Amino acid sequence: MIDMPDGVGIVGYGCYIPRFRIKVEEIARVWGQNPVDVKASLGIEEKSVPDRDEDTVTISVEASKNALARAGISPQSLGAVYVGSESHPYVVKPSATIVAEAIGAGPAISALDTEFACRAGSSNIVLCMGLVKAGYIDYGLAIGADTAQSRPGDALEFTAAAGGAAFIIGRKDVAAHIEGHFSYVTDTTDFWRRHGEDFPRHGARFTGKPAYFTHVREAVTGLLQKLSLTLDDFDRVVFHMPNGKFPLAMAKELEIPLEKIKDSLVVCKVGNSYSGSSLVGLCKTLDIAKAGERILLASYGSGAGSDAFAIKVNGRLDEIRNKAPKTDDYINRKEYIDYGTYAKHMNTLKGVTA
Amino acid sequence: MRVGIIGIGQTKMGEHWSKSLRDLSTEAGAMALKSAGMTASDIDGLFIGNMSAGRFVGQEHLAALAADHAGMTPIPATRCEAACASGSLAFRKAYFAILSGHHKIVMVGGSEKMTDIGATGSVGTLMGAGDQEWESSIGLTFPGLYALMAQAYMERYGLQRDELSLVPVKNHAHGVKNPYAQFRFPISVQDVAASPLVADPLRLLDCSPITDGAAAIILATEDVAKHFEKPVWVAGSGQASDTLALHDREELCRLRASEKAAQMAYIQAGVGPENIDVAEVHDCFSIAEIIAYEDLGFAKRGKGKQMLLNKDTSMGGSMPVNTDGGLKVGHPVGATGIKQLIEITRQLRGEAPNQVKDAKIGLAHNVGGSGATALVHILRRD
Amino acid sequence: MTYRSSVPLYWRLQKAKYTLVGTQCITCRSLYFPPRSVCPSCRSKGFTKQHKFTPSGTITTHTVIRTPPEGFESLAPYVIAMIKLDEGPLISGLVVDTPEKIATGKKVTAVFRKISEDGKDGIIHYGLKWKLVE
């Protein structure tokens, strides 16, 4: 049973990952930790670092341009631009309007910033699906992007990264049909940041079972029930990637074979780009998925909630995927930096004015 | 009717922590009056050249300030601005004021007080001479603009890095004897190569400094000037404009405004480049001097460096250039045009520390920004 | 508030700076970027209309700024190049690649970046920088 029988789906997609990388070894060196232990516990080798002139807005613009190139539509056809992030450059003043003007969309559009930790981007997809399904807009642009901040010396510093992905949702020339979706949210504070604070705080092990695992599991379970599907009906799986271990552990708990999820694990090489994380994983999957394959996507945002989607790829994906840089092009394009340069890029050095 | 220079005065160029803009201007003006044996009541008009006192020290309305502090009110007082060419622009306006018949004895002063806002502040303020919307806004500094010209020139004409260094080496050598210079020490090509990069390929020693200073000249009608011992006459004055932004120029390796201003001055003076005995050219950055040789007709296009290699423009050469050290040893922006004219005046009077033998005809070349304004004056003695 | 903190001063140039919209003379069809409201060749007959340029060009020369002005301190050293847009006009542009990779003749494409910001509590100025085409 398909939730969205009207053929609503992904018309275009694209991601962007900044080119700088810092290795686990380098961060571990500064804090006197054993990189072997860190890699073993987090399942990550290195993470992406934004340039000093990059932020959530610039990342969103680049990802959106890639999505537009694949969609082959004019930005004027967009009826909505939603930017989901937990690192919007302004607390008050939307990223979405800057992105819209930079890509040539609007002004007669719905533009909005959203926040739900790492889930904001996937929730933007749901918003666009609704507007398209209702016939209210022809195309909606859903973006998830972050330049994630982590407290220096905290465990999150090894994984908090920068990146983003954009999806154009529509009804015409759909390359991947979104068959259905299910959201599961509760008030579970596993990771948070108060007004005026530079860095988030988190509940350490509390971020595991009661948070990530419960919500992803419930969202996936709810989706399967709603669509009368089983996990065997899916060929590929993408989960939110806070590190390289959680998605694998979730897959193991749900008895999903490794082959179905391994290709989407971009986190090992580029880290966790928060609102971009699962969506960049989806981009990687769309880069290689074959017509007829069904993809399971489950995002996760602290606070907490998960959006699960069933996505069915069709032949049009083959026609459009080469029209913009692929996820691996960004993953493989890299330049290593040391911790001092990393601190300069992340603006954690006191007293730097500009 | 000829217009003659009858008085000159300038402050030392440098970092003047205890002297304000008004202190420097008054000092230069007083020196000029003394040198002419005149008092403030003899002056009937005042022209001031200053680029950016508003941003350097928060002061506009400079001509009124100068007239006030010199005790010259209520004479007409006017400020002229053309970035780094403000001084010679003021000079040209003073010259025209006398030619118009409305004025007899006019003082023209140039000044800039750059050090109060710090080096980074100065770099930012100087960018106002370029295009705010499309050059300044992307952090394209003045060294950057001239570096782009240098890079283009070096690629096109095969100028080598060490050959470019000959400009500041020559000018520092000349500046040693100049009591008003900010720097009075010689440098070598190796010193230039060892100085830090500012905007590739330009290094610190390729660049004129941040300087406080003021200079003043008194101009008079022929009737008045002919009674002076060694009047120096304004034989030609030329001025031209070009696009503000470097990226809008037809070519990066030449300044059309300099060429046009020079042509105007040569025609009016009835001389050619071959008649010039001594010249002050606008060496805000080393490459600017080489391009100036070509723009002013002293050297063929692309061959400017030959004059340096042959030492034609050094003391003892066929046409010494920047005998006081040029902008390299002090560039108080609004005053520069005036101090250049003062050096030529000294040369023609036989009073220069680096005296060119029998100098009869001299040229001063002053540029605003990256070439959007240029002025050329030719002075001669009887 | 100085001009550097002005919102309208930067806001009115957004279209040009975000999307490379310049102008074209209605009489001689010359293209202008940065935009000009009057064609300097045709003058009183030279009103212009908007023209969106393709964000692609070639480096004709470049420098590396090492003594930055206010607002650009921690970005130094940065590359500024003269870029000839494919459609003709020459522009000055910040290049995001490191200096040793830059050379005359290399092709560049535009990327959306932060240009500067008015301190920690002022507005952020976005615009296009340029990146070597690999």
Check B120 against C60: CB less than 8 A apart.
no
Number of independent structural domains in chain B: 1
How is residue C54 annotated by DSSP? P
Inside any domain, residue B244:
no
For chain C, the average pLDDT equals 95
Instruction: Respond yes or no: is residue A240 known to be catalytic.
Output: yes
What local confidence, expressed as pLDDT, does residue A1 receive?
62
Inside any domain, residue B26:
yes
Measured in angstroms, the CA of C128 and the nearest CA of chain A are apart by 9
Instruction: Give B331's pLDDT tier (boundaries 50, 70, 90).
Output: very high
**Both tokens assigned to A192:** 């948070």
What local confidence, expressed as pLDDT, does residue C9 receive?
92
A55 contact residues in C (CB cutoff 8 A): 114, 124
Those residues whose C-beta lies under 8 Å from the C-beta of residue A232, and which sit 6 or more positions away, are: none
Active site residues of B: 84, 331
Those residues whose C-beta lies under 8 Å from the C-beta of residue B192, and which sit 6 or more positions away, are: B165, B168, B169, B203, B205, B206
Q: What is the mean pLDDT of residues A124-133?
A: 97
Q: How far is CA A81 from CA A36, A96, A107, A110, A297, in A?
A: 42, 6, 11, 6, 21
Which of C114, C116, C132 is the best residue to mutate to test the A interface, defined by the most A CB atoms within 10 Å of its own CB? Answer: C114
Chains that touch C (3 or more CB pairs under 8 A): A, B
Over the stretch A142-183, which tens digit does the pLDDT of each residue have? 999 999 999 999 999 999 999 999 999 999 999 999 999 999
What local confidence, expressed as pLDDT, does residue B133 receive?
96
Measured in angstroms, the CA of B133 and the nearest CA of chain C are apart by 8
Strand partners, B279: B321, B363
Q: What percent of chain C clears pLDDT 90, i.e. is strictly above it?
A: 87
Over the stretch B3-54, which tens digit does the pLDDT of each residue have? 999 999 999 999 999 999 999 999 999 999 999 999 999 999 999 999 999 9
Inside any domain, residue B326:
no
Inside any domain, residue C21:
no
CATH number, domain with residue C121: 2.40.50
Looking at domain A9-345, its CATH class is alpha beta
Inside any domain, residue B74:
yes
What local confidence, expressed as pLDDT, does residue B115 receive?
96
Over the stretch B152-170, which tens digit does the pLDDT of each residue have? 999 999 999 999 999 999 9
Inside any domain, residue C63:
yes
Over the stretch C63-113, which tens digit does the pLDDT of each residue have? 999 999 988 988 999 999 999 999 999 999 999 999 999 999 999 999 999
Measured in angstroms, the CA of C1 and the nearest CA of chain B are apart by 13
Task: Check pLDDT > 80 for residue A2.
Answer: no
Over the stretch A188-203, which tens digit does the pLDDT of each residue have? 999 999 999 999 999 9
Instruction: Respond yes or no: is residue A345 known to be catalytic.
Output: no
User: Searching chain C, which residue's CA lies closest to the CA of residue B204?
Assistant: C67
The strand pair at C56-65 and C78-85 is best described as: antiparallel
Prediction ipTM score: 0.95
**Both tokens assigned to C87:** 């459609």
B138 contact residues in C (CB cutoff 8 A): 80, 92-94, 115, 127
Those residues whose C-beta lies under 8 Å from the C-beta of residue A196, and which sit 6 or more positions away, are: none
Those residues whose C-beta lies under 8 Å from the C-beta of residue C36, and which sit 6 or more positions away, are: C23, C48
How is residue C43 annotated by DSSP? G
CA distance B179 to B339: 13
Number of independent structural domains in chain C: 1
How is residue C47 annotated by DSSP? B
Task: Check pLDDT > 80 for residue C119.
Answer: yes
Q: Which domain holds residue B54?
A: 3-118+210-225
Chains A and B touch (3+ CB pairs under 8 A): no
Over the stretch B246-264, which tens digit does the pLDDT of each residue have? 999 999 999 999 999 999 9
Q: Rounded to 5 degrees, what are φ and ψ at A325?
A: -60, 140
A51 contact residues in C (CB cutoff 8 A): 96, 113
Inside any domain, residue C98:
yes
For chain B, the average pLDDT equals 97
Q: Find the angle CA(A196)-CA(A198)-CA(A200) to the nearest 5 degrees.
A: 105
Inside any domain, residue B163:
no
CA distance A200 to A332: 29
Chain B contact present for C68, CB below 8 A: yes
What local confidence, expressed as pLDDT, does residue C1 receive?
75
Q: What percent of chain B clears pLDDT 70, i.e. is strictly above it?
A: 100
Residues of C with CB under 8 A from a CB of A: 14-15, 18-19, 70-75, 96, 111-117, 119-120, 123-124, 126, 129, 134
Q: How far is CA A86 from CA A42, A147, A337, in A?
A: 22, 8, 24
Burial (CB < 10 A; 0-12, 13-18, 19+), residue B62, is: buried
* C65, C89, C115 member nearest B144 (Cβ): C65
What local confidence, expressed as pLDDT, does residue A5 receive?
65
Over the stretch B262-312, which tens digit does the pLDDT of each residue have? 999 999 999 999 999 999 999 999 999 999 999 999 999 999 999 999 999
Inside any domain, residue B358:
no
Over the stretch A295-353, which tens digit does the pLDDT of each residue have? 999 999 999 999 999 999 999 999 999 999 999 999 999 999 999 999 999 999 888 87
Q: What is the mean pLDDT of residues A32-44?
A: 96
Domain boundaries along the sequence of chain A: 9-345
What local confidence, expressed as pLDDT, does residue B175 receive?
98
Measured in angstroms, the CA of A98 and the nearest CA of chain C are apart by 9
Q: Which domain holds residue C113?
A: 55-132
Closest CA to B112 of B50, B44, B197: B50
The strand pair at B213-221 and B105-112 is best described as: antiparallel
* C15, C73, C75 member nearest A53 (Cβ): C75
Inside any domain, residue B25:
yes
Chain B contact present for C104, CB below 8 A: yes
Check C92 against B140: CB less than 8 A apart.
yes
Selecting among A46, A86, A157, A179, the annotated active-site residue is A86
B144 contact residues in C (CB cutoff 8 A): 63, 65, 80
Inside any domain, residue B39:
yes
Instruction: Give C45's pLDDT tier (boundaries 50, 70, 90).
Output: confident
Those residues whose C-beta lies under 8 Å from the C-beta of residue A135, and which sit 6 or more positions away, are: none
Convert chain B into a string of H (helix), E (strand) and C (coil): CCEEEEEEEECCCECCCCCCHHHHHHHHHHHHHHHHCCCHHHCCEEEEECCCHHHHHCCCCHHHHHHHHCCCCCCCEEEECECECHHHHHHHHHHHHHHCCCCCEEEEEEEECCHHHHHHHHHHHHHHHCCCCCCHHHCCCHHHHHHHHHHHHHHHHCCCHHHHCHHHHHHHHHHCCCCCCCCCCCCCHHHHHHCCEEECCEEHHHECCCCEEEEEEEEEEHHHHCCCCCCEEEEEEEEEECCCCHHHCCCCCCCHHHHHHHHHHHHHHCCCHHHCCEEECCCCEHHHHHHHHHHCCCCCCCCHHHHHHCCCCCCCCCCCECCCCHHHHCCCHHHHHHHHHHHHHHHHHCCCCCCCCCCCEEEEEEEECCCCEEEEEEEEEC
**Both tokens assigned to A151:** 């407290």
Over the stretch C28-41, which tens digit does the pLDDT of each residue have? 999 999 999 999 99
